A and B are shown apart, each in its own frame.
Chain A
Amino acid sequence: MTLDDRTGRIVLDQVTQRFALPREGREFTAVEDVSLDVGRGEFVSIVGPSGCGKSTLLALIAGLVPLTAGRVLLEGRPVEGVTPGLGFVFQRDALFPWKTVVENVGLPLLFRGVDAAAARPRVAEWIARIGLTGFEHYHPHQLSGGMRKRVALAMTMVYEPQIVLMDEPFGALDVQTRNLMENDLLELWAQFRRTVVFVTHDLEEAIALSDRIVVMTASPGHVKSVYTIALPRPRSVTEIRFHPDFGRLYETIWKDLKDEVRLGYERSRHGLSG
């Protein structure tokens, strides 16, 4: 693949998504008029109150749900349905429970018609990279939450997608495992420089990882503000928190975010939000 300014680039142009709520006889607007330009190798996080449509935004980019208005361009091409070249790490690790670690990691290669002999070293390499050598023949239920997450990550990275979307991937992990995973992710990202769009509700996580942070409003979600995080790299998520700029950034962005969080909470309490 030739690298030009389209490679790994995601452009959202006035994207809106509504869906019908037949039981309530009305439409629900999940995201409204979102425009965003993410360049090759950029790490962008989307934060916002729960129910603001951040996950919907990722699903739209992946082509899992259809757009109501606007367009999404992946590497210059408009998204129509699922784009298989893309990487997507789900909130719950969507591993195939009936397959072992090797089979899970090798699955995207099998789907792509890579022959077994060529796939084997690539799969072994990724299993080694995520530190699961020796666990090749374990089934997902035999692994810890962090291990399963790493398998999901390897499964996504093994086919070398230019764009990786992550939907609160570490939300279910305990704090220590989470920090380890975040550092692993940063290391991988530094090494491979893929475009990453990372959805989270944890502002600290977003600041520690990202180049830019997009703050979304409470539903219907649209972009409220965008912040550039100019903290030095390479970062360690556990240490970057002590950087003098970290607190300032946190304060500024939190001020922006908290009104939306409160609004989202009020609405959910009154059952107004979908």
Chain B
Amino acid sequence: MATSAAATVSRAEIHLWRVGLLGAFLALWEVATRRGWVDPFFVSQPTVLALQIGDWIRSGFIVRHLVVTLQETIIGFLLGTLLGVAVGFAFAHWQTLAHVFDPVMVALNAMPRVVLAPLFILWFGLGLLSKVVMVISLVFFVVFFSTYTGIREVDRDLVNNARILGASPQHMIRHVLLPSALTWIFASLRTSVGFALIGAVVGEYLGAHEGMGWVISYAESMFNSTGVLAGLLVLMAAVIAIDLGLQRLDARFSYWKPVPK
């Protein structure tokens, strides 16, 4: 980032620009639909959207569906991460295993998960399970590849030093390999959490009876553009909130790293 005071635009100024541009966009949207330049049937209207979201919050409708989606996201994310770390460690530990299954991993990862979603729904039903599996299928690979790289890229001097200092294989995992892999896992955390949410929503969108994906899909089937856009806005807000939380978490866990200047 530029440090020269003259070249730096102040924070307040940036905020002002952001709010201003957003306001102008919303105003234009509102005016365009009111004046009949654009049909609100297709693009809805900011005031109508605000009313819709307010309504959803008051009735508790949106909270219920958001909770369902977040539940699938969190369960799938945790299981996918655990599985990714475990398999990543196994691959790093047993080279033969890695050599045999490496192409399988790459091939599986290359498969578009969105297309798999209908199969998951067929196999695991319309409920929670199929969404959790969908989330796992996305999160697992991100975490697996990070863990595997993290362990393979661990500083050789550190491993040698630990061996000389008397580390047992358990010590090596606990004090050297895991912390080293964690930095990679954390680096990919924001990606994997994003994937988790996408997995849950896509799963719901393609077949469910609750959750944010279902809300959007249902509105769509009714040609209700307000419902679709309001659902998307709620999801967007959720993603931003999660991302802010993760940024804090990342700062907490990378306490030993030099602060980037």
A contact residues vs B (CB 8 Å cutoff): 62, 64, 82-84, 86-88, 90, 92, 94, 96-99, 107-108, 110-112, 139-141, 155, 159
Contacts and interface: CB of A to CB of B under 8 A. Distances in A.
A137 to B, nearest CB: 11
A41 B179 CA distance: 37
A87 B163 CA distance: 11
A97 B256 CA distance: 6
Contact of B258 (A64, A92, A141, A155): A141
Interface residues of B, number: 20
Interface stretch (B90-98, B142-150, B165-173, B228-236): B165-173
Contacts of A94: 155, 157-158, 160-161
Interface string B239-261: 00000000000000001111000
Interface of B: 155, 157-158, 160-168, 171, 175-176, 179, 255-258
A187 B167 CA distance: 29
A107 B165 contact: yes
A88 B256 contact: no
Contacts of B176: 96
B256 A82 contact: no
Nearest to A84: B166
10 contacts: A83-B164, A84-B163, A86-B164, A96-B175, A96-B179, A98-B256, A99-B175, A111-B162, A111-B165, A111-B171
Contact of A96 (B158, B160, B163, B255): B158
B167 to A, nearest CB: 5
A108 B179 contact: no
A87 to B, nearest CB: 8
A98 B155 CA distance: 13
B158 A111 contact: no
B256 A155 contact: no
Contacts of B171: 110-111
Nearest to A65: B160
Contacts of A84: 163-166
A83 B163 CA distance: 8
Contacts of B164: 62, 64, 82-84, 86-88
Contacts of A82: 163-164
A98 B179 contact: yes
Contacts of A112: 166
B163 A64 contact: yes
A158 to B, nearest CB: 10
B175 A107 contact: yes
A112 B179 CA distance: 20
A117 B114 CA distance: 55
Given A96-B175, A97-B257, 17 more contacts: A64-B160, A64-B164, A82-B163, A84-B164, A84-B166, A88-B160, A90-B161, A94-B155, A94-B157, A96-B162, A96-B179, A99-B175, A111-B162, A111-B165, A111-B166, A141-B256, A159-B165
Nearest to B158: A94
B24 to A, nearest CB: 45
Contacts of B255: 139
A159 B166 contact: yes
Question: Looking at A64, A111, A112, which has the most chain B CB atoms within 10 Å of its CB?
Answer: A111
A111 B161 CA distance: 12
Contacts of A98: 179, 256
Nearest to A59: B160
